[in-house]
Chains A and B, each alone.
Chain A
Amino acid sequence: MEKKDRIKLKGLVTVPGIAVGLAIAAVYLVLTLLIPSQVRMTQGHLTNARLYPYFVCICAMLLALGFALTFRKNEFTFDLGIWPMVLASLMLYFGTKTLGFYTSSVIVIAYMMLMWNNRCWWKILLTSVLTPVSIYLAFTVGMRIFMPTGILI
């Protein structure tokens, strides 16, 4: 148990505030540089279409630099150990595109429950089957919203 916890605690990454601020500033610097190619000038319009994007991007850049300076000594901890949950959401996204929503949600619920340390097979089976069935009843039968069915067609 202790070994397992140690492995999980390794997922914690500490990032200094200055790096977070500079990263945000860099994103807005890129966006500012992209404005000429991404925002088309409209002929005959009274105001410059690029004015507002420049205003927002430059303000954001300045504030991000302010953040970097103000919180340069702070340290922010990110937990990379959340990857199973991010993976679950991506599995559901790509799974829906290929297998369909209902099939992939059965798999994803079972996977997530295992990740949350559920080992009771009947609970896993019941939850992973009942949830998609309830979604089908509420969304498709009740509200006429058709989720991608994929291989179930």
Chain B
Amino acid sequence: MASFLLIVQSTFTLKILLLILAGSLFGMIVGAIPGLNTTLAVAIAIPITFYLEPVEALALLSAVYKNGIYGGSVSAVLLGVPGTPAAACTVRDGYAMAKKGQAKKALDAALYASVFADVVGNTILILTASWLAQFALKFGPSENTLLVVFALVVVSLVGSSSLLKGLLASIIGLSLAMLGMDPMTGSPRFTFGNINMLSGVTLIPTLVGMFALSEIFVEYSNFCHAKAEGKSVDVPQDKKSRLSLKEFFSYWRTLIRSSLIGVFIGALPGSGPSTASFISYSMAQRSSKHPEEFGEGSVEGICASEAANNGVCGAAYIPLLTLGIPGDTITAIMYGALVLQGITPGPLVFTQQGDMITGLYVTLFICSIFMLVLGKILCRTLTNVLNVPKGILFPVIMIICFAGSYSMNNTMYDVLVMIIAGVLGYIYKRIDMPIAPTLIGFILGSQMERSLLQSLIKSENNLSIFVGSPIAIAFVIIIVLMVGSNFWKLMKAKKQK
């Protein structure tokens, strides 16, 4: 208890509080601007974390993440355009309320629901993470191999419109991880005689390129073909029509159910806030006493959507910290940030970096408090930010991406990697291929190769090691069932056609 209090005390430093403040502001602003998303915000913030302590780095990134997801609701309510894909459901009721002159009430509902779900997600993370980590310690090389395969299959299934596209994206990620050095023998591989290639494809520039730079290309393409809508922002005039806490908590059933949906989906690898938001919204509509109000300006609808998408945030740390498997693109970036700090996410983090974990738990709650306070203060100011022209925003973002990528290792090679990754990310977006499986395959590639080869060495090339323990058998059954059911559905759909 004394050591816990000591860690809590050490977390409340001015530096951490300022980092959370900066991260919250940055996340909220980027999340609120349609076209920019939370992943991009976290990717831009990552070079800064290189110069921070692990807890400070996680505090900054968590603040950007949580507030970025919330920020998406601001433009959803005021513009009718979701700032982030996760806020797509919020548009239906939020914008309808704004048109009725109840923008302030809708923004309050989004804020309170986000903070409520955030606290629920953090609490469940704290209660379950160490238990899951203890279980994960039982994994040997064969279980680890199957765990990576399982994660890639789940990400491919959930995060993509087609399993084939998802699997292809995953294997592209695995092949990117293959460039550089052989993790077992240390000999160069696919370096083509280039000394820079010995370090392989660098993670952070790849992330920045695939998310931030490719977004600039896509937005420019939209700008050229006049797809971007130039709506003007209506500043809420109805200051007095706020949402009372009594009215807010009258939706307690929806809030708890939606938060738990968010937590459950966040804990699964591959699914993100958008999925949670859609499922929660449709469930809330089905079980509501007033389903006819959904889409017409229902506070309950906003609560369902926002509680689910913010419930994901805390839970997304569960697979990252306990299994070392990033659940979505944002936690994949956080994985990169931890690796930069010399920390490999996984069950051993709980024993080797216990202070960091406790510090992270504390900072997650501080982030929730900051979200509440800043959300209340800034909702009017954010409307002005929404008017910043993209023609100013994107050139600045490109320069920041460039500086961030260079600063990783002070080499121009990383900048080149970022540019190539940007073009690759653009191609992905054009062929509707999901980026998340590539990224997660890239991150887990060396782990997969190492554990696969260790399993083969241990079993003297006997493949039965992959069904040699109950955990391994369970993984194999789940993977076969998932892939099999997907094929079965496809065949059934084809027959019906």
Q: Please list the residues of chain A having a beta carbon within 8 angstroms of any beta carbon in chain B.
A: 5, 8-9, 11-12, 17, 20, 24, 28, 31, 34, 38-40, 42, 45-47, 49, 51-53, 56-57, 59-60, 63-64, 66-67, 70, 76-79, 81-82, 84-86, 88-90, 92-93, 96-97, 101, 105, 108-109, 112-113, 115-118, 123, 127-128, 131-132, 135, 139, 143-148
Looking at B62-70, B309-317, B396-404, the stretch in contact with chain A turns out to be B396-404
Query: Which residue on B lies nearest to A38, using beta carbons?
Result: B190
Chain B residues positioned under 8 Å from A78 (CB to CB)? 427, 430
Q: B175 touching A60 by the CB < 8 A rule?
A: yes
Q: A52 touching B392 by the CB < 8 A rule?
A: no
Chain A residues positioned under 8 Å from B431 (CB to CB)? 17, 20, 76
**Sorted from nearest, which 3 A-B pairs have the closest CB atoms?**
A116-B391, A112-B395, A79-B221
Q: A145 touching B412 by the CB < 8 A rule?
A: no
Chain B residues positioned under 8 Å from A47 (CB to CB)? 184, 453, 456-457, 461
Interface of A is mostly: helix
A79 to B168, CA, bound (A): 23
A115 to B461, CA, bound (A): 58
A17 to B14, CA, bound (A): 54
Task: Knowing A86-B217, A101-B403, say if A116 contacts B396 (CB, 8 Å).
Answer: no
A76 to B426, CA, bound (A): 12
Chain B residues positioned under 8 Å from A39 (CB to CB)? 182, 187, 189-190
In chain B, residues 213-254, which have Cβ atoms closer than 8 Å to a Cβ of chain A? 213, 216-217, 220-221, 223-226
In chain B, residues 407-462, which have Cβ atoms closer than 8 Å to a Cβ of chain A? 407, 410, 412, 415-416, 419, 422-423, 426-427, 430-432, 449, 452-453, 456-457, 461
A86-B423, A89-B422, A105-B399 known, 6 other contacts, Cβ within 8 Å: A63-B168, A66-B168, A67-B165, A82-B224, A118-B391, A143-B51
Chain A residues positioned under 8 Å from B423 (CB to CB)? 86
Q: A40 touching B416 by the CB < 8 A rule?
A: no
Task: Knowing A78-B427, A79-B224, A116-B223, say if A63 contacts B394 (CB, 8 Å).
Answer: no
Q: List 10 A-B contacts (CB under 8 A).
A: A38-B189, A53-B190, A56-B174, A60-B168, A79-B224, A89-B402, A92-B402, A101-B403, A105-B399, A147-B403
In chain B, residues 189-221, which have Cβ atoms closer than 8 Å to a Cβ of chain A? 189-192, 213, 216-217, 220-221
Q: A60 touching B172 by the CB < 8 A rule?
A: yes
A146 to B409, CA, bound (A): 11
Q: How far is the CB of B221 from chain A (nearest CB, A)?
A: 4
Task: Knowing A88-B398, A113-B391, A116-B394, say if A49 contacts B182 (CB, 8 Å).
Answer: yes
Interface of B is mostly: helix
Task: Knowing A81-B221, A93-B419, A131-B399, say if A52 contacts B453 (CB, 8 Å).
Answer: yes
Q: How many residues of B contact A (CB 8 A)?
A: 62
Query: Which residue on A lies nearest to B218, using beta carbons?
Result: A82
* Contact for B392 among A57, A92, A127, A143, CB less than 8 A: A127
Q: B412 touching A97 by the CB < 8 A rule?
A: yes
* Contact for B407 among A59, A66, A76, A145, CB less than 8 A: A145
Type the 1/0 row for B115-143, where 1 means its CB is closer than 8 Å to any CB of A. Answer: 00000000000000000000000000000
A153 to B205, CA, bound (A): 27
A139 to B377, CA, bound (A): 29
Q: A8 touching B224 by the CB < 8 A rule?
A: yes
Most chain A beta-carbon contacts within 10 A, residue among B175, B224, B226, B415: B224
Q: B221 touching A96 by the CB < 8 A rule?
A: no
Chain B residues positioned under 8 Å from A116 (CB to CB)? 220, 223, 389-392, 394-395
